[in-house]
Amino acid sequence: MQNLKNLSDDMLNYCCQKHSLDNPPAVNFEEDEANARNFLGKTAFYDPNTSQITVYVSSRHPKDILRSIAHEFVHHLQNLRGEFRDVGYFGSDYAQKDSHMRNMEKEAYLNGNMMFRDWEDGLKHATKIKLNEEIKMSNNNNDKKINTPEKENDLYEKRFGDRNQKLFDKLKKTWTKKK
């Protein structure tokens, strides 16, 4: 859960930077197993009155949760633009009935998913660089830390080669005696 919060913070900071926002909206992480078992259960929603995102986290892949948060973040942007003002219809099927809400929903799906994707790719890239740097550092500082298969084999031979040879000699003696 802490890891999820850290990832969510990181992603929201990225989203804020992209849209020149100073502060990300607050996120409530809801655990609700009964809701998770219901196919038509809730995944996330944005409250334009409190500017808060609520996301349901039970039994979901972290990427799915973060994608939901990115989607709701777009609704937050829409709220800051005043797009929730004078919203006529806000029933559960608003995405089908109200054309303004339908367009807002389209924007949230498209931009939310793309923001999530861009952030994720950036994270992968950063992790790759970090890993490469760590490998380089350990190669420079201590070439014993990361070994090629040949080096591993040498190490093994050094450690066990002698012992194996003795064991082999002993067994050979026993076997040849019996013959």
Distance (Å, whole) CA 71 – CA 59: 19
- Please give the residue whose beta carbon sits closest to Zn ion in the complex: 108
Which listed range, 29-37, 105-113, 126-134, 165-173, lies at the site for Zn ion (CB under 5 A)? 105-113
Q: Decide if residue 108 touches Zn ion (CB under 5 A).
A: yes
Closest separation in Å from C-beta 131 to Zn ion: 36
Please list, in sequence order, all residues whose beta carbon lies within 8 angstroms of the beta carbon of residue 70, skipping any fewer than 6 positions away: 11, 15, 112, 113, 115, 116, 119
Please list, in sequence order, all residues whose beta carbon lies within 8 angstroms of the beta carbon of residue 43, skipping any fewer than 6 positions away: 55, 56, 60, 64, 68
Closest separation in Å from C-beta 67 to Zn ion: 12
Which listed range, 21-29, 102-110, 113-121, 163-171, lies at the site for Zn ion (CB under 5 A)? 102-110
Q: Decide if residue 53 touches Zn ion (CB under 5 A).
A: no
Binding residues for Zn ion, rule CB under 5 A, total 2
For residue 47, report the phi and psi dihedrals to the nearest 5 degrees.
-105, 110
Q: Decide if residue 77 touches Zn ion (CB under 5 A).
A: no
Distance (Å, whole) CA 149 – CA 46: 53
What residues make contact with Zn ion under the rule CB under 5 A?
A: 105, 108
